[in-house]
A and B are shown apart, each in its own frame.
Chain A
Amino acid sequence: MTTNMVGIEIKDLHLSFGETEVLTGVNLTIEPGEFFSFLGPSGSGKSTLLRAVAGFGPTPKGQILIGGRDIVDLPPWKRNVGMVFQSYALWPHMSVRDNVAFGLKERKMPVSEIGPRVEAALDLVGLLSMAGRMPNQLSGGQQQRIALARTIVVEPQVLLLDEPLSNLDASLRVQMRRELLALQRKLGLTTIFVTHDQEEANTTSDRMAVLDGGVIQQVGSPQVLYDTPANLFVANFLGTANIIDGVVEKDGAAARFVTKTGDAIAVGDTTVNSGSIVLRPQNISIVAKDSANSISGTVMHREFLGSQIRYLVDAAGTEIVIDQSHVSGETWQDIGAEVSLNINSSAAVVLAS
C-alpha cells in the first residue's frame, strides 16, 4: 500500500454559508507526504476548509489542487481523497468487513481482490480479528481504527482527518495519535489533520496552519509558531503568553522595549516601532534584586503544578506569568515578596500593534 505522494495547493479560497463568509482568501501549500494540521478554535473554519477539500459543503470560490489537478468542481465521489470523520461514520447495518469493503466494491474491484485488500487493511490497524463484528460491538478506539482502515483501503491520494481523536478518552488519544503518525509515515500519505487541541497538532505535525475567523493566521512548524508567533492570536492560542504593550527605543544597534510604566526590556533587532512584546512564562526568571536587564515586581500568587511552579508577579503594570522548573528541596518565593525578573531577550518577540 504505497501511493505516489501528491501535494495539495489551495489558492485564494473563499467560502460562504449563505451571506456569512466562513473562509476568506485561504492560500496554502502542503508538501507531498507531509503531515499537516489545521489548528484553531471552534468556528475558525478549520473543519469547513477540510470539508471543502473533501468536496462537502457549499462549493468554494478559488482553487484546490491535488497533485496539480483542480478538484473544486468535482463531486466528492470523484476526488479520491480519503476522509475519516469525527464520528467515524461507520455504517451500523454493515459488519466491519463490509464497511471496509464498501469503497472497493464501489470501485468495481473483482471480489477475489477485495478480500485480501480488506484483510490487509484490517491487519494494518491491528483489528483483523474483528472483521465479523458489527460496529456497535466495538470500542471507540476500535471504531476509530476501522474508520481509518475503511478510508486507506481505497488508497486515496490524500488523507483527511476531521478531529479523529476527539471522541476518545485522554490516554487512548495519546496512543492513537502516535499510531496515526506511524501509519502516515509508513504509507507516505499526504495528510491533513484538523484539531482544536494544540498538543495533538504539536506532537504530530510536520507543519501546521493556525486559523481564526476563516483566515489563516500563520503557517509553519509547531516550534516556529510557538517561538515566533506572527500575531497576538497565535501567541495567545499556542501556550501561555505574557503580552505587554509599549514602544521600541533604538540606540544604535541595541534596541529596548519600553513599557507604559517605563520598564525597559532589551530585545533583538526589530523593525517595529510600537506594539506588544510577547514573553513565554518559561523565558522569564526570578533573579536577585536589581540585576542587569531586569524589571522589578511583587509576587501576587503562586501555584504548584508539579514539574513547574507558576508565579503571578505584578510588574510593568500587569500580572506576568512566570514558570520555573521545580527542583526538589528548593525554596519558593513568598507571596508579597519584592523580586526582580530577568528576561531572556533572545526569546522575546515584538509584534506591531
Chain B
Amino acid sequence: MTHSPRGSAPGLSIADRLPKYLFPRIGGTAAIALLIAILLVGLLIVPVLQVIYVAFLDPNTGALTLNNFKDFFGSSLFRESFGNSFYVSAVSVVMATIIAMPLAYITTRFNFGGSVIIQSLGFIPLIMPPFVGAVAMQLIFGRNGSVNLILRDKFGISIPFMEGLNGVILVQSIHYFPFILINLSTSLRNIDRSMEEAAQNLGSTGMRMFRRIVFPLAMPGYIAGAVLVFIKVFDDLGTPLLLNVNNMLAPQAFLRISSIGISDPMGYVISFILVAFSIFSLWVSFLFMRGKDYSTVQKGGGGLSKRDLSTREKWIAYGTVSLILLMVLSPHIGLLLLSFGTIWSYAPLPDDYTLQNFVVMWENSGTYISNTVLYAGLAATADVILGTAIAYIVLRTKLFGRQALDYMATASLAVPGVVLGIGYLRLFHGVQVPFSGEPMASWWVIIALALMVRRLPYALRACMAALQQVSISLEEAAESLGASKQSTIRRIVVPLMSGGILAGFVTSFATAAVELSATIMLVSSDSDAPLAYGIYLFMQTPSGRGAGAALGIVAVILVGVGTYASQRIIERDKKMRMSGDAH
C-alpha cells in the first residue's frame, strides 16, 4: 500500500484535509492530562489561592491591603497563638525524635526478636486519628487521670502531662512519631554495610562511628520525617480543639470562621500563615536535602550488618521498647477502657464495665458510618484512578508539563485541612447545586471532594511506586507483540500495578475515613456528618464520651484493618515479583 503524500484518498474527511495546525491533535493521554489538570486547579489551586487572596483584601472595601496582617500581629491573642503553634510543633518534633530514635536504631542494628513488634505496634498510633486519643489521654495522663491519681497517692506529686500545651505536645508526638520512625528506619536500612565496614577497617567503632558515619547518612530520612511531623502538628485542628486548647492557629481559624462567619478576614490570614509555614518548612528541608541522596545499598548488599545482643543488652532493649510502646499505646488502652467503662472519673480505672456504650453508639451513629463509607469510598476510588493516571503520565509519557501534575497533586500535602475547608466554603458560597437547588457549600459531595484532594498524595505515591516497579521492558514486550498503548496499559501495566493501586486505595480510604480538619469546616448538618465528626460531637459531652470512645474503636479497627490489608497486599505483591525474578 503506497500513498503519494499529497494524494487525497477518498475516505478522508474534510477535517483531515485541512491544514493540521487548525486542529491541534490532542491525543487521548493529553486530553486526560488536561482534564486532571483542570480538576486539580479547580479543587486545590483555586480555593487555596482564593483564601490567600482574601487575606489581603479589605473586608469592607474589597481593596488590596496589608491591614489584616497588621490586625493579626496587633492582637495579643493571635501573637500568642502563633507562638504556641510554633512551640508545640517544635517540641513535638523533639519528643517524637526521642521516641522514634531508639526504636529505629534497635530494629535496624540488632538481631532483636522485638523488631517485629516494633514494626507492627510502632505504626499503630497512625491508625488512630489523634483527636480520638486525646480524650483517652486526658483520662490517663490528665490532672485527675490514672497516672496522676496513682502518683499523688503514692508519692504526693502530680505531673502536668496534659496541662494546656503539654497535652497537645504529648498527644501529637505520640501520634506522629511513626513518621520519623518510618523514614529514619528506611534511611538506616539503605546504608550499605560497606560504609560501616570501611569505617571499622580504618579504626572507627561504636558511638563514634554512629555519630560520624551512620547518623549523617541517615540524616536525610530523619529530616524528611521531622519536617512531616512539624507540618502536621502545626496544621492540626482536631487535637487542640478536643483538648480545648484554643490559643493556637488552626483552632483560631476554625473559631473565627465558624463563629464570626466566612467574611471575617482573620481566618484567611491564619490560613495564609499555615500554608506559608508548610511551604517554608518543606523548602528548608528541600534545601537541606538537595544533593544528599545517600542511599548506598549495593546490589546484593543489604543494609547495615546486624549483630546479636548479649543477654543484658537484650533486657535493656526489651525494657526500652516496652516502656515506649506502653506510652505509645496508652491512647488505645484508654479508649478501650473508656468504651467499655461505665463511669470513669477521679479513678485510675473505670468503675465497672459494660457493652452499653456500643449499643448507644450503634443506635446513634449508623448515619455517621454509612456517610463515612460513602465519602471515603468515593474519595479513595477517585484517588487511585487519578493516581494511576498521573503516575502513568509522569513516568511513561513525554507530555509537556507532566511534572506539574505530580507537583500539584503532591502540593495538597502542604495545604492544611482547615485551609482547604475554608477555601471550599468561600469558593462554593452562594453557588447552587444543579437541579436540587441546595447551596453547594453545604452539599455532601463537597466533603467527598475535599477528602479526595486531601488524600490524593497518598494514593499517588503508592501508584508511582507500583509503576516504577513495572519494568518498561514488560510493556515493550507487549507492544512488540502487537498490543496497542491502551491495551498494554489495560492488560499489562494496571494488572502489574494492582497491588500498589489497592494499597493506595486502602490507605486513602482509611485515612479519609478519620479526617476531621477539613470535614469539620464543611459539615453543615449532623445527617451529613462522617464518623470523625460524629466522634467529635459525642466527645463534647461527658455523657457521650463512652459512646464516642466506642465509635473511636470502630474508627481504629477500620483504619487498622485497612492498614494491615494494604501491607499484606504489598508484601504478597513483592513475593510474587521476587518469585518471578528468580527464573
Q: Does B192 contact A (CB under 8 A)?
A: yes
Given A89-B192, A91-B213, A93-B217, are A75 and B198 neighbors across the interface (CB < 8 Å)? no
Task: Find A75's partner among B192, B200, B202, B291 (CB 8 Å cutoff).
Answer: B200
Q: How far is the CB of A154 from chain B (nearest CB, A)?
A: 6
Q: Which of B198, B217, B219, B293 contacts A83 (CB 8 A)?
A: B198
Residue-by-residue, is B260-300 near A (CB-CB < 8 Å gives 1, otherwise 0)?
00000000000000000000000000000001111010100
The stretch that binds B, out of A101-109, A171-179, A248-256, is: A101-109
Q: Are A154 and B194 in contact (CB under 8 A)?
A: no
Interface residues of A in 78-98 (CB under 8 A from B): 78, 80-83, 85-87, 89, 91-93
Bound Cα distance A315, B352 (Å): 96
Contact of A93 among B194, B199, B216, B298 (CB under 8 A): B216
Please give the distance in Å from A143's CB to the nearest CB on chain B.
12
Query: Within 8 Å of chain B (Cβ to Cβ): is A76?
Result: yes
Q: Could you tell me if A106 and B217 are in contact, using CB atoms closer than 8 angstroms?
A: no
Measured CB to CB, the nearest residue on chain B to A57 is B305
- Chain A residues within 8 Å of B216, by CB: 91, 93
Chain A's closest residue to B299 (CB) is A87
Whole-angstrom distance between the Cβ of B7 and the nearest chain A Cβ: 51
Contacts of A92 in B (CB 8 A): 217, 292-294, 296
Q: Which of B201, B296, B301 has the most CB of A within 10 A?
A: B201
B197 contacts A89, C-beta separation under 8 Å: yes
Contact partner of B197 (CB less than 8 A), chosen from A56, A78, A80, A82, is A56
B204 within 8 A of A: yes
Name A154's closest neighbour in chain B (CB-CB): B202
A14 at the interface (CB under 8 A from B): no
| Cβ contact within 8 Å between B203 and A107 | yes
Q: Which residues of A contact B212 (CB under 8 A)?
A: 102
Q: Which A residues are in CB contact (< 8 Å) with B293?
A: 92
The answer to whether the Cβ of A332 comes within 8 Å of any Cβ in the partner chain is no
B76 nearest CB across to chain A (Å): 44
A89 and B213 contacting across the interface, CB-CB below 8 Å: no
Decide yes or no whether B195 CB sits under 8 A from chain A: yes
User: Are B201 and A82 within 8 A (Cβ)?
Assistant: yes
Given A87-B192, A106-B203, decide whether A76 and B298 contact each other with a Cβ distance below 8 A.
no
Chain B residues whose C-beta falls within 8 Å of the C-beta of A54 in the assembled complex: 197, 201
From residue A136, how far is it (CB to closest CB) to chain B in Å? Answer: 8
Is there an interface contact between A85 and B194, defined as CB atoms closer than 8 Å?
yes
Distance of A278 Cα from B216 Cα, bound (Å): 56
**Which residues 511-526 of B sit at the A interface, judged by CB distance below 8 A?**
none
Q: B205 near A: Cβ within 8 Å?
A: yes
Q: Which residue from A55, A87, A93, A103 sits with its C-beta under 8 Å from B202?
A: A103
Residue from A75, A89, A103, A151 in contact with B195 in the complex, judged by beta carbons closer than 8 Å: A89
Chain B positions within 8 Å of A102 at CB level? 199, 202, 204, 212
Q: How far is the CA of A91 from the CA of B202 in the complex (A)?
A: 13
Give CA–CA (A56, B296) in the complex, Å: 19
Q: Which residues of A contact B194 (CB under 8 A)?
A: 85-87, 89
Given the contacts A87-B298, A89-B195, A76 and B292 also touching, CB distance less than 8 Å = no
A75→B192 CA distance, assembly (Å) = 19
A-B CB contact pairs (8 Å), 27 listed? A54-B201, A55-B200, A75-B205, A76-B200, A77-B200, A77-B202, A77-B205, A83-B198, A83-B201, A86-B194, A87-B296, A87-B301, A89-B192, A89-B195, A91-B198, A91-B199, A91-B217, A92-B293, A93-B217, A93-B219, A93-B294, A102-B199, A102-B202, A106-B202, A106-B203, A134-B291, A150-B202
